[in-house]
Amino acid sequence: MENVCTTERPTVQSENAEIKTPAKYRYVRAKDSRGRPIRAVWIRCNSYYIEYCYCGRTYKKILRRDGVKVSTPAEAIEARDAFERKLKTGQVATERVPNLEDYVRHYITWSEETEAKDELTILKERGHLAGWVKFLGNVKMATITRRQINDYAIQRKKAGASNRTINLDVGALRTLFKFAKNEGVIDFDPTVDWRPLKHVPPKRPLITAELVDALCAEATRAEGGKPVYENGVHLKDYLRLMQYSGARRNAAIQVKWSDVNFDLRQVTFHTKFDKAVTVDFNAELEAHLVDMRSRRKSERDRVFGDNCYQKTFELVRAEVAKTSPEAKVFTPHLLRHYFISWCVMSGLDFMTIARWVGHSDGGQLIGQVYGHLNAEHTQQAAKKLSFGLKGKLDLNQFTAAELLEALKLKTAA
């Protein structure tokens, strides 16, 4: 037998005693020329075997070199090392290792049935993994190598995919392999330590309040006493909620009235990674939620129902873009940047902002990416910069609140 599974060794018993395996069929530890045991090498019936663990099971396999059985301890050590190198790089597979296409199907089914991930995440992963199946074919999971991953990245790049998209492709494959390792299907993950391709995030524009007002006005426009858009009012409420809270799209569309606490003046959003993010009411957010509650016609807990309003949004955006060209690049996600940017320009500390928007880095990303400061704000800040006070100090450069704060610090000193 070429490949023997030894995880479970059944014992044959009679009524009186255990039947022992004859000595010549037993595995005996192989020894080198000095009589020392050779790691992971055994002898049985004058043949050398390597013992190895694969997919959570222990196997013994006859050692060969160039197709010929090894016959000396030195040859056994050399063949053992070569076999372990192949095992480490995923070049060893058994019939128990599933095919890529079958395992992708199993993984997606598990994600859907257990609701471990939201529908949008599952849809995205399904698309990324389908690309891998198409490129690699229905191969064994354990035969996928780093070279093939790099080749796929090259092919995607030639097809016009961005570095960010390629990184997402590999990320989906890494998630699949991590799942397979947790299930004990494979031991080697070729995506480990794969370095993401360099990607510079595009600089998102700081949208204006006027543009948001124009979109909301168009969404609720009526002709002949009838609304132009069936879901226009809901779309307006949806956009305003993201504008005043900084919530992500999916978190905002899934919010429930039970998540809104008017007594504590807080609203909780359930965002990705099953994280609960609580946002304290600002004046605009509170007024908007109070207004929405006053127009509530159903006892249903979901605020927005099951419609994501994407089609309505695209129609509204196209109409507004006729008079406001900047609307062409507008996406609901920019409202999150709008909220964070105005938090920064209002002088709020980054840690508080990070807590509101669900960042766990204490505000580092806020400072690096989200601090879109408009020209007027930066110009006002530049006026306050002074390299030593020369002559009279122009108090007109400072607001009343800033002067009061400076007076408090001076008094405390």
| Tokens 């290792």 sit on residue | 97
Assess contact for 142 and 93: CB atoms under 8 A: yes
pLDDT at 213 over 80: yes
DSSP string of 344-375, one letter each residue: HHTT--HHHHHHHHT-SSTTHHIIIII----H
For residue range 51-97, list pLDDT tens digits in order.
987 655 677 888 988 888 999 999 999 999 988 887 776 555 554 67
CA distance 332 to 257: 21
CA distance 49 to 27: 9
Max avg pLDDT among 11-15, 255-259, 391-395: 255-259
Mean pLDDT computed over 269-291: 90
Per-residue pLDDT at 218: 96
Candidates 344, 352, 349, 347; CA nearest to 401 is: 347
Per-residue pLDDT at 16: 42
CA–CA–CA angle 91, 97, 101 (5° rounding) = 100
Give the domains, in start order, of the chain with CATH numbers: 3-86 (no CATH), 100-182 (1.10.150), 209-375 (1.10.443.10)
Candidates 109, 176, 96; CA nearest to 136 is: 176
Per-residue pLDDT at 9: 41
CA distances from 94 to 55, 63, 105, 140 (A): 9, 16, 20, 9
Long-range pairs for 173-176: beta carbons < 8 A, 24 or more residues apart: 173/128, 173/129, 173/132, 173/149, 175/125, 176/103, 176/104, 176/107, 176/129
CA distance 230 to 234: 9
pLDDT at 180 over 70: yes
Cα first-last separation, the chain: 87
pLDDT at 203 over 80: no
Mean pLDDT computed over 131-148: 90
pTM for this prediction: 0.56
